[in-house]
Amino acid sequence: MADFENIPKDMLQEITKFLSIPDYIRFGAVCSHWLEVIKEGYYSPHKQLPWLIFFDIESPRVFNPLDEKVYRIELPELHQRHCAGSSHGWFITIDLNLNINLLNLFSKNQVKLPQLPFDASDVWPRLYYECFWSKWPEERRDQLIYKAVLSADPCKNSDYTVMAIYCCNFKLAFWRAGDITWTVIDSDFVLQDIIWFNDAFYVVGSKINSHDDSILQSMKKYLVNFMGDLLLVYRSIAPAEVYEGYYNESSSDEDEADDYPNQGNDNGALKYYQCGVDTMEFLRTDGFMLFKLDQKENKFVELKNINGHVLFLGSNHAVFTPTTTLAEKMEDNFIYFSDDYECANHMYGYRDSGVYNMRDKSITFPLNNIFHQVKQPTFIDINPDTFRFV
């Protein structure tokens, strides 16, 4: 019988450097001696891919893109709280009283932030405020912050700043560590993304009441740091012609057609379905376009590939990962994206999380048929040098 308890600690420490985080956690379950080794910290020379945190009816779960497996996790710290995205390995969470915390996934450390300032006039449109925001605490909690990012990992740098887009994408505010209140920045834009780049925050959005009806203007926008270059990523999201399990455009069943009347335009470009008093539009991602900022010419040029890398987009602080630094082989030129589109209907869950292949422009949705996702999913970056088993 193997004598696991007497394997030298320094030998076990060397072994852990070559384990993925799921295997690292299993490693600690072998015996008390091995558990003591991993409690000392996880130091791996290999980059870890971000995980997709999503929520089914029972509990939070994580999807690991490297092994394409789903793991159940215990996160009581998220009970009754909305997760408004992640940055540098920290969740931004909000409770029903609109209290905001930063939560580290692994250490479980939390940082309490002040409440964001707003009043009724900040919530647009007015009908949305009167029918939903003012009446439902869950709606206020889930819709208060659209996106928030950190300038640095609080575990590594105590001098950090949080920047947030909130109140229906119209307001911008930042909080420096140690401040008593948020500082609000006036904006004439509908804001969509923030990034900390070259020691400053950058934001992207669309001008309010803009008459620019170009295709790019209508797409969802992200800002990404790609090896020191600033990228502007456009995500095309269109009405879904086929929504699995709820509507099939090819169906000839007249009764079914009566139940889901098409209220779109004559050419069928827009698909709407009536349910009680609510009109719902089902949307799905159908492509991406990437542009790199040429800082000398001060213009964006299209980027056709991300050779040697994969990109993770959504409500998280966007992350590029080089595939050459991974412990296991993985194909490059893929964009992993989560469902973060605020204009989509989510009555039947968050179903627009998938993988985009930049080579052949194909898209797959690996999680749609596994779990019913009842809350907004988000990717979270895994920092091996700050991982602790608790």
Residue 366 pLDDT? 81
Q: What pLDDT shows up at residue 42? A: 58
Q: Looking at residue 271, what is its pLDDT? A: 36
pLDDT in tens, the chain (390 residues): 467 788 888 888 888 777 777 777 788 778 888 888 877 765 665 677 888 888 766 678 888 888 788 888 888 888 888 898 899 989 999 999 999 999 988 778 899 999 999 877 677 666 666 666 677 888 888 888 999 999 999 988 999 999 999 987 778 999 999 999 999 998 888 899 999 999 999 999 887 665 555 556 568 999 999 999 999 999 998 876 544 443 333 333 333 333 333 333 333 333 333 333 344 456 789 999 999 999 888 999 999 999 999 999 999 999 998 888 776 678 899 999 998 877 666 666 777 889 999 999 999 888 766 655 667 889 998 765 555 555
Alpha-carbon span 366 to 373, nearest angstrom: 13
pLDDT given at position 370: 61
Structure confidence at residue 124 (pLDDT) = 66
User: What's the pLDDT score for residue 27?
Assistant: 81
pLDDT of residue 250: 35
pLDDT for residue 303: 95
Give me the pLDDT at residue 153, please. 92
- Specify the pLDDT at position 254: 39
pLDDT, position 129: 65
CA distances from 268 to 239, 262, 348 (A): 10, 8, 22
Per-residue confidence (pLDDT) for residue 245, from 0 to 100: 41
Per-residue model confidence (pLDDT) at position 331: 87
